[in-house]
Amino acid sequence: MSQQHNPAIEAPDPRRWLSLAILLLALFMNLIDVTIVNVALPSMRDNLGASDTQIEWVVAAYVLAFALGLLPFGRLGDIVGRTRMFLLGVTGFTLASALCGLSGSIEMLIFARVLQGIGGAMMTPQVLAIATVTFPPHERGKAFSLFGLASGLAAVCGPILGGLLIDAHLFGLDWQPIFLVNIPVGLVALIAGWKLIPSLPGHPGLRNDYVGILLFGAGIVSIVFAIVEGQPLGWPLWIFALMAAGAILLAAFVWWQRRRAEAGLSQLLNYDLMRNRDYVFGAFVMTVYASGIPGMFMVISLLLQAGFDFTPLQSGLTNTPFSIGVLVASLIAGRFAHNFLRSRLAAAGGMLAVGILWLHFVIASSTETIIPSSFLVPLLIAGIGLGTGFSALFQLVLRNVPPRDAGAGSGALQAFQQIGGALGVALVGQIFFAQLGTNMAAGAERHIAFAGAAALALWYQVAAFALVMGLAFFFRAPNPSSETRATAPALEV
């Protein structure tokens, strides 16, 4: 980078706070879409005549496309310019939201969800990068704190807004408004962003690793596809062959990254990170940690609405204590900075395991009805656990990463977070729908069949978070020089 005098560094852009508002609006639109869809799944299932597997793909397709796009689009933003890539992402996300709302079949909806995930992956990596270069160092802490607040508010508002929009039957529509509402928001973000966000030039000399993108994407998709489709197809031999092919592709990806590193070329996932045992261990823990929640709320929404005849709004309100717990814990977690990280992660895993185990027994004992207040305390405990653990986990993983790899390490860790979510949806969905089919075939009443399937599926979350609690103390003690760089990447959660 040129060291020439740059007045922009000395005089921050006067529009930076307006720019931040636009970035937060786009981020909020993307984050709220993750939670709002869960409330609508039963309505989509009935309205579009979707199968159990197709309902899984409505969630998994978005998460998977988003996960696989984070790294390559993050690098592409460096090449063509972050503001340009952000605006392209907002455009793509808005158009894909319109396509979701206009979908007349489940197949079209799943395809549109893939496009939505791609749009989200285009704009999300640029948000923090734009804020970093727009704000002077002394203002970044205040600016970055608003990202955590936006994430927490999206988690709280999503289920409630989804329920309100579906129950309102706007213009005679059912689930469609949860996507169509993104159109005016996206247009505002696009027009205001084009006028107010500073134009940040790219670096055309940089190169993206397209072979790495292909190998990594094909490997992950092969494994997730095999898990989602295996049970309804009866686990034929080719499903296991597909899993094996996915593992081979991921091994080839590692080899390719090593080859590019030896040649001095850019890598999709920095090979030095793959040689960093602390980082690899942390990425595994992140994958397990992030696998627990998306599948759980898919199951709970289906349980409440399809099993116990809750309206979408009642379902969203029932889930709200979890989101409030996440918001409260996220706001408090910043006060701990980089202290007690292992203990905080262990406590988070314990709270999640205890809260979900409590929820398991509440659901298992339900026969004719579910009292929403019985979900309040266990979901609140679990939400506090999730909000407590994410910031601690990001800091634990990244604190022993060399400063030169901090950006790549943070971006890759977010990708593992999303991949964990996709795998969790696939695994929990298989447990739930397989048991539901068994219960129905055995002649169980609808309430009991759904309750039994959901209670069984929740054991995965209990086991996953109990494992995280145990693994927390296997993280090595930090290097003293690494403490100061541990906090910033966690703001991207």
pLDDT tens, residue by residue, 304-315: 999 999 999 999
- Tell me what the pLDDT averaged over the chain comes to: 87
pLDDT tens, residue by residue, 174-193: 999 999 999 999 999 999 99
CB distance 425 to 56 below 8 Å: yes
Q: What is the 3-state secondary structure (H, E, C) of 226-244?
A: HHHHHCCCCCCHHHHHHHH
Look up the CATH number of domain 12-204.
1.20.1250.20
Taken as a whole, the chain contains a residue count of 493
pLDDT tens, residue by residue, 25-82: 998 898 888 778 989 999 999 999 999 889 999 998 998 999 888 888 888 888 888 8
pLDDT tens, residue by residue, 472-487: 999 986 655 444 444 4
Torsion 332-406-70-259 (CA) sign: negative
Distance CA 350, CA 352 (A): 5
DSSP readout, 186-239? HHHHHHHHHHHSPP----TT----HHHHHHHHHHHHHHHHHHHHHTTTT--HHH
Q: Helix H segments across 275-405?
A: 277-290, 293-302, 312-333, 341-364, 376-398
User: Per the structure block, which two tokens stand in for 39?
Assistant: 């409330």
Domain residue ranges in the chain: 12-204, 209-267, 275-493
Distance CA 416, CA 406 (A): 15
- In this predicted structure, the answer to whether residue 19 has a pLDDT above a threshold of 50 is yes
Do 12-204 and 275-493 agree at the fold level? yes
User: Per the structure block, which two tokens stand in for 136?
Assistant: 């002077």
pLDDT at 403: 67
User: Per the structure block, which two tokens stand in for 155?
Assistant: 């988690």
Cβ atoms < 10 Å from Cβ of 214 = 15
The stretch 228-238 carries a mean pLDDT of 86
The stretch 448-465 carries a mean pLDDT of 96
Distance CA 312, CA 424 (A): 23
CB distance 490 to 315 below 8 Å: no
What's the CATH superfamily of 275-493? Answer: MFS general substrate transporter like domains (1.20.1250.20)
Helix, strand, coil % over all residues of the chain, rounded to 5: 80, 0, 20
